[in-house]
Amino acid sequence: MIDRAVAGRRQPATTLVGPGHDADLVAAADGRVAVSTDMLVEGRHFRLDWSTPHDVGRKAVAQNGADVAAMGARPTAFLVGLGFPPDTPVDVLDGVSAGIGEAAEGLGAGVVGGDLVQASQLIVAMTVLGDLDGRAPLLRSAARPGDTVALAGSTGRSAAGLAVLT
């Protein structure tokens, strides 16, 4: 399954040793790495009767990438932990993998490694590594009254989608 997930995927220059080893090696240009981890659990964070597997993979990358971007970092690498029942159709796993790979590549990052495990439901655990490119990290603790808070994109779409589906 791992070979299927990484076949044909491009790695950015920051990936020094990628998939196929016990660990991976990623360059950190200025010696600092922003790191975040999130999990998506079927039935709690997504439903496959509402979302395609491809959508689930893209969502996993988007929410992790947003976490390091909020700190001012650029996503450089993702690690994926995937748990799934033994009767999961291969096309579901291929779809999740394709969504993850395409979204990571769209950010200029690579999927450098991860792990697979049998589970009672589909679980996608993602870790993202990010590069600050020499900038200071943006910290919530540094915010002060009167500071400008900016938001990119539209708000409320998740709630609107949920309202339509229920």
Q: What is the pLDDT of residues 117-131, one digit of tens each?
A: 999 999 999 999 999
Query: Was domain 2-135+153-165 assigned CATH 3.30.1330.10?
Result: yes
Q: Domain boundaries in the chain?
A: 2-135+153-165
For residues 68 and 75, the answer to whether their CB atoms sit within 8 Å is yes
Max Cα distance, the chain (Å): 54
- pLDDT at site 147: 86
For residue 31, the one-letter residue type is G
The one-character DSSP state at 42 is: B
The pLDDT tens digits along the chain (166 residues) read 555 655 666 766 776 665 665 666 766 778 888 889 999 999 999 999 999 999 999 999 999 999 999 889 999 999 999 999 999 999 999 999 999 999 999 999 989 888 999 999 999 999 999 999 999 888 878 888 998 877 777 888 777 877 887 7
- pLDDT at site 152: 73
Scanning the structure block, which residue is given the tokens 């229920």?
166
For residues 101 and 16, the answer to whether their CB atoms sit within 8 Å is no
* Residue 143: φ, ψ to 5°: -70, 145
**CA 83/CA 64 separation, integer angstroms:** 18
Give this prediction's pTM.
0.79
**CA 28/CA 74 separation, integer angstroms:** 11
Going through the chain in order, the beta strands assigned E by DSSP cover 15-17, 25-26, 34-41, 74-84, 110-118, 123-131
Q: Which CB contacts under 8 angstroms, 24+ apart, belong to 46-49?
A: 48/92, 48/122
**CA 125/CA 50 separation, integer angstroms:** 20
- pLDDT at site 32: 84
